[in-house]
Structure 1
Amino acid sequence: MTWEPERLDDQRHLSEGDPSGMLPAVAGAAAHVRTGYRNAIEARVDRLAGQGRPRAIVVAGMGGSGIAGDMLAAVAGNGAPLPIVTVRSYQLPGWVGATDLVIAVSGSGDTEETLSVATQAVRRGCTLLGVGAPGSPLEAVATQASAVYVPVPVSGQSRANLWLLAIPLIVAAVELRLVTAEPDLFERVAATLEDMANRCRPASESFINPGKSLAMDLAESVPMIWGSSPSTAVAAHRLAGQLHANAKYPAMHGELPEAGHLQVAALDGPVAERDIFADVSGRSLRLVILRDVEEHPQVTRRREASLRLARERGVPVSELMAEGVHPLERMATLIGLGDYASTYLALGYAIDPTPVSAITELKARISQ
């Protein structure tokens, strides 16, 4: 598999190389926001508020569904009056009980880890909110427990349906008064993603297309992606995951200041070395910083110092700034850009971004 950047402006290649339509799926993010919001309202997630504020919120989900939980925690912020944690396993923590809200998220509705946690939540008497495919095993668990369930029309890969799965969680948090949201917030988020879809459309050439430009930066590198706030850290995690799944590409992610205590050491390692005289360039480290307009002053100092360290060592850097007033808007700018970049990176390597054969094979082996 060789990187050929000219493929990104070859409309025929972009169409034929993406037979399952990952690019159109990414472009549907704005519609997913509106659908997720409408379905959450129709499912009456406001009923959760009638049970009082929970002691804690636990979100159960794997892959993109787990990212939805991280988004909820980041949007609620450090001022949230209760802990919000994401569980990515089969086991509900022992401290979770009847006064807690468990949100089970699964695009397919049959993710075995999520079903296991949802079942445990019901047995312990927790309040349960389910989000996933209609008519699925997850909906059956929720229905049997007389719990609120938000059916969402997931199609294709669950990772391409992030906003369908995440928005109902944010709506529920608004109803519980854990998140402050203006009446037009969700429409603003949808408009932000529509703007990104227009700027990153396949017909837009690489030199003005931010998604293609970021893909070109990431190509032939090992990206180390850092967020400078909880919101941008979620976007960093999402970008790394999308690079894995769409482009089948290695990446690491972190959040400042923690990344400055461990991952920064990689700037002195073998992957950071660049031989400008080599006939064949190897893949070397690239530092990708996702910035936020709201940063702790000490985080800003660490970010600036880290960028200087990288540049002094000849490690290429990319800085991306989140835009918008609300944390959810700012997250949308970076998540939308990253989803496009990961898809274009795959297509630049002539990789179909949709199939995940290694994941499918792993699931088949453990089911035997």
Structure 2
Amino acid sequence: MLDDIKKFPDMCEKAYQPTEIDTKNIRNIVITGMGGSGIGGDLLKAHLRDKLDIPIIVNKNSNIPNFADQNTLFFVISYSGNTKETIKAYEQATKKDCKIKAITSNGKLKEKIRNPQNIIHQPPKNIQPRAALPHLYLPMLATLQKNFGLKQTNIHETKKILQEILEKNKPKTKKQKNQAKKLAIELKNTIPIIYSHTYLKPVAYRWKCQLNENSKTYATSNYYPELNHNEVEAMYKNNPQIKDLAVCIIKDNKPKKQTKKSINASKTVLKNAKKILTIETKGKKRLTKTLSTILIGDLTSLYLAILKKTNPSPVKNIQKIKRKTQE
């Protein structure tokens, strides 16, 4: 897992490759993927929510939206190419004559897609799907930016910051100067609850998933301002249910005034949890801020797994459930 995380900056640079596609008469975009293959859709939707004039729907289900038709750009994402729900969704999209573009490394999905031009990216094989995130997200982003006339990201600048983060948080760096190690120590023996806002919402969800899968730690996530209208009500003093909660707030390094106000207001009750940790984004551009915070989360989940003396790579419960659902 550490070797895969070390490749993160290079993967980002290699994966950010646009493909020419026909966007004529496209009225909506649907992205289908499960687990590690589906988070790219969440990131794409958050990144482009205020930039595109057509809706983006993330479908984490075997059944696709009823409105999908020949005017739908349909991204189908499966690292292995064998995800049961994703293949079924692909078959439905084919029957509805959607404009299908795929990202897959191999498997049944690749076999079913007869036109190779409909595969916009093939990730390298033998990577944990969740560790292959750049390959499952950035080809879509680059392609949409190019074909919808949006400004392209300078991925080389982003890579530079990602490399700096890796250097500062490498295993040999002592905990005093290692942000990911310090976070892992803080999260040990807690239930992490990850909060974020606006475009960082899927980043918080990624942290939650990596803590689940790598650290084998129960964690959950929520986002501002929504959590201020429900979840905070449970954060009252002496509530035994929150005594083990570690609230991790992921925030933009230059938050908007209203966002800053929402976060600060919530801290008046969040202080009743076991601890509050704040993680600020790094960089100036939205993509850099997103990817750099994801990398810190990936490293934190790895170091927490080490502290818990658990192997981060196997996902035994997930595989057990997959076997049972395929019987």
2:213 paired with 1:234: no
Deviation at 1:110, TM superposition (A): 1.3
Residue 246 of structure 1, aligned match among 207, 214, 234? 214
Pick closer, same or farther for the CA change 1:223–1:314 going to 2, 3 Å: closer
Once the two structures are superposed, the pairs formed by residues 70-219 of structure 1 within 5 Å of their partners are: 70-134=42-106, 136-144=107-115, 147-177=118-148, 179-182=150-153, 185-219=154-188
Tell me the SS of whatever aligns to 2:269.
Answer: helix
SS in 1 for 2:177: coil
Distance in 2 of aligned mates of 1:340 and 1:227: 18
Deviation at 1:294, TM superposition (A): 5.5
Unaligned runs of 5+ in 2: none
Partner residue of 1:277?
none
% same residue: 25
When residues 142 and 345 of structure 1 are mapped into structure 2, their CA distance, relative to the original with a 3 A threshold, is same
Question: Cα–Cα, structure 1 residues 321 and 139, in superposed 2: closer, same or farther, change >3 Å?
Answer: same
* Partner of residue 314, structure 2: 355
Give the letter aligned to residue 163 of structure 2: E
- In 1, Cα distance between equivalents of 2:308 and 2:194: 21
Within 5 Å, give how 1:260-339 maps onto structure 2.
260-268=228-236, 269-273=239-243, 284-293=244-253, 295-311=255-271, 313=272, 315-339=274-298
TM-score, normalised by the number of residues in structure 2? 0.94
Tell me the secondary structure at the aligned position of residue 293 of structure 2.
helix
Residue in 2 aligned with 1:3?
none
2-side partners of 1:218 and 1:266: how far apart? 20
Amino acid at match of 1:333: S
Distance 1:364 1:30 in 2: 34
What secondary structure is seen at the aligned counterpart in 2 of 1:79?
Answer: coil
- Structure 2 CA distance for partners of 1:53 and 1:76, relative to 1, 3 Å: farther
C-alpha deviation, 1:267, in angstroms: 1.4
- Say yes or no: does 1:223 pair with 2:214: no
Structure 2 residue aligned with 1:7: none
Cα deviation per residue 1:89-123 (whole Å; 9 max; x = unaligned)? Answer: 10011011110101011111111111111111111
Report the counterpart of residue 61 of structure 1 in structure 2: 33
CA separation of 1:75/1:314 partners in 2, compared to 1, >3 Å: closer, same or farther?
closer
Moved over 6 A (4+): none
Deviation at 1:180, TM superposition (A): 2.3
Match of 1:366 in 2: 325
Q: Is the 8 A contact 2:23 2:148 kept in 1?
A: no
Compute the displacement of 1:69 (Å): 0.4
The CA RMSD measured in Å over matched residues stands at 1.7
* Whole-angstrom CA distance in 2 between matches of 1:294 and 1:76: 19
Residue type at the aligned position of 1:238:
R
Number of aligned residue pairs? 325
1:103 to 1:202, Cα distance in 2 relative to 1, 3 A: same
| Highest RCO, 1 vs 2 (Cα 8 Å, sep ≥ 6) | 1
CA distance in 2, matches of 1:293, 1:119: 43
* Shift in Å, 1:215: 0.6
Distance 1:132 1:89, change over 3 A: same
How far apart are residue 64 of structure 1 and its match?
Answer: 1.5
Match of 2:13 in 1: 34
Structure 1 residue 249: Cα displacement:
0.5
Q: What is the CA deviation profile of residues 139-188 of structure 1, one whole-angstrom value per residue up to 9, with x for unaligned ones?
A: 22332586243211132310011012111111111122264224xx1112
Task: For 1:23 and 1:244, locate their aligned partners in 2 and report how far apart those are by CA, in whole Å.
Answer: 17
* Cα distance change, pair 314–250 in 1 and its aligned pair in 2 (3 A): closer
* TM-score w.r.t. length of structure 1: 0.84
Q: Provide, for residues 244-276 of structure 1, a one-character-per-residue CA deviation record: whole Å limited to 9, x for no partner.
A: 000110111011011111222231232323xxx
With over 3 angstroms needed to count, the CA separation of the structure-2 counterparts of 1:146 and 1:124, relative to structure 1, is: farther
- CA 1:353–1:308: 2 relative to 1, 3 Å: same
